[in-house]
Amino acid sequence: MSNHVIEEAHRCLQCKNPRCSEGCPVHTPIRDAIKLLREGNLRTAGEMLYANNPLSLVCSYVCPHELQCEGHCVLGIKGMAVQISEIEKYISDYYLNVYEPPRPEKIEGDVAIIGSGPAGITIAIILARRGYRVTIFEGKEHIGGVLRYGIPDFRLPKSILERFRSLLERGGVIIRPNTTIGTNITVDDLQRDGYGAIFIGTGVWKPHAMGIKGESLGNVHYAIDYLRNPDVYNLGESVAVIGAGNTAMDAARTAIRHGSLNVTVVYQRGEDRMPARKEEYEYAKLDGASFSFNSATLEFTREGVVVADSVQNEDGSVSAQPGTERLIKADSVIIAVGQGPRAVIVSSTGGIDVTRRGLVAVDDCGRTTRPGVFASGDVVTGAKTVVEAVRVSRRVAEAMDEYVKSVKSGSPAWPVEESSNKQ
């Protein structure tokens, strides 16, 4: 492994204008990190990557590198791009083993983080490093959000999230698990109890329903629920997965790993219109999944899924072609057509506007329409990449720091008259 990483590092051309960094949403200084690695300064390289992106190790596993850093590598134009993800993984993994987060001597104030997904972890690390006493309120048993409950272990080992939990706690962050804000404890309670700034990063955990006949049958499940704990499901030998995004690929590959012998992914458009990463699609095929393209889902039954050939209309929508109906036999069906936010926090809190999609409305710095309350991540943008959550959350952490300090100085500023979901 180390030999492979070193070989890849020496393939880097050390471009004067590194296109790899330009292609990364957080502009990871990978060229400089590779230079340090080649010079033997592994710790300094890790410190550089971590300072730029606290979730650098996570991103090395789950980012769509072929579209970002590696997709912009000069060597990839006529040959094979430098495998930047493997280099970043090696450096970042090493650094987490040796890094000891500082414990501040002076407490700048208290902040509350609701949700411990990518956005919440990023902001907690940044603000704890700046001297804030950070408390994470997590509705589930473990931290990680979508990283733990939405991405299978074969794509992102859960042990990495345990390392981040240890890192957070060593840095003074308090983690309160199994605590859902909006039920017994509200945002009002948090502000009453002295939290100078509150961050909402609860993600999108409400699956989109298809609204077709048979969706309430006992053999029909939603992917976001299935991936949370696949061990408790008995799907049977044959499974149909509806949808063709990355979540659908994860659900199909997970079902195969849990004993289902025949897994068919059903998608209403053609192979060239799949939203899933090409890499995830190829892995799903390699694992044994089959695909039924241009198949519109009409009905769920206890025997499987009724589909028909789909045709694309002039307005871009898809409709079923009469007379082509057929049954794809399946013991179980998994619906993977997207998800949105649960409204428990917003519905229990006054003054927080939402968009037409039900997402939290914010300005460019993550400020909601309620003073002192911020948000970013999927609860603002809908399901996006981890690195995109990191990119925005770095800016939100800055705004939270500035707000708490402005309150302490006696001149609180909240320049949000009408939030716009620009993130």
Domains, the chain, in order of start with CATH, read 2-98 (1.10.1060.10), 109-205+341-408 (3.50.50.60), 208-338 (3.50.50.60)
Tens of each residue's pLDDT in the chain, 423 residues: 567 899 999 999 999 999 999 999 999 999 999 999 999 999 999 999 999 999 999 999 999 999 999 999 999 999 999 999 999 999 999 999 999 999 888 899 999 999 999 999 999 999 999 999 999 999 999 999 999 999 999 999 999 999 999 999 999 999 999 999 988 899 999 999 999 999 999 888 888 999 999 999 999 999 999 999 999 999 999 999 999 999 999 999 999 999 999 999 999 999 999 999 999 999 999 999 999 999 999 999 999 999 999 988 888 888 999 999 999 999 999 999 988 777 667 777 788 888 888 888 999 999 999 999 999 988 888 888 999 999 999 999 999 999 999 998 887 777 654 444 444
Q: Which helix (H) or strand (E) holds 11?
A: helix 2-11
CA angle 394, 385, 182 (to 5 degrees): 70
3-state secondary structure of 18: coil
Write the DSSP string, 117-164: SHHHHHHHHHHHHTTEEEEEE-SSSSS-THHHHTS-TTTS-HHHHHHH
Shortest CA distance to 59 belongs to which of 101, 28, 15?
28
Whole-angstrom CA distances from 268 to 60, 166, 337 are 32, 44, 11
Confidence (pLDDT) at 415: 61
E strands present in 235-370: 238-242, 262-266, 290-292, 295-301, 304-312, 318-320, 326-329, 332-335, 339-340
Rounded Cα distance, 365 and 374, in Å: 8
Confidence (pLDDT) at 423: 46
Q: At what angle do helices 30-38 and 84-98 cross, to 10 degrees?
A: 70
Confidence (pLDDT) at 378: 87
Confidence (pLDDT) at 306: 98
For the chain, state the CA radius of gyration.
Answer: 23
Token couple for 352: 């927080």
The residue type at 145: G
Confidence (pLDDT) at 356: 83
Rounded Cα distance, 52 and 49, in Å: 5
As to burial, measured by CB atoms within 10 angstroms (0-12 exposed, 13-18 middle, 19+ buried), residue 325 is: middle
Shortest CA distance to 108 belongs to which of 134, 141, 82?
134
Rounded Cα distance, 355 and 380, in Å: 9
| Dihedral angle over CA of 158, 163, 168, 172, nearest 10 | 140
Residue 335's φ and ψ, nearest 5 degrees, are: -95, 125
Place of tokens 């057509």: 337
Q: Which residues neighbour 335 within 8 Å (Cβ) at sequence distance 6 or greater? A: 207, 208, 209, 210, 215, 220, 221, 222, 223, 242, 243
Q: Do the beta carbons of residue 114 and residue 200 sit within 8 Å?
A: yes
| Neighbour-count burial for 255-278, b at 16+ CB within 10 Å, e otherwise | bbeeebebbbbbbbbeeeebebbe
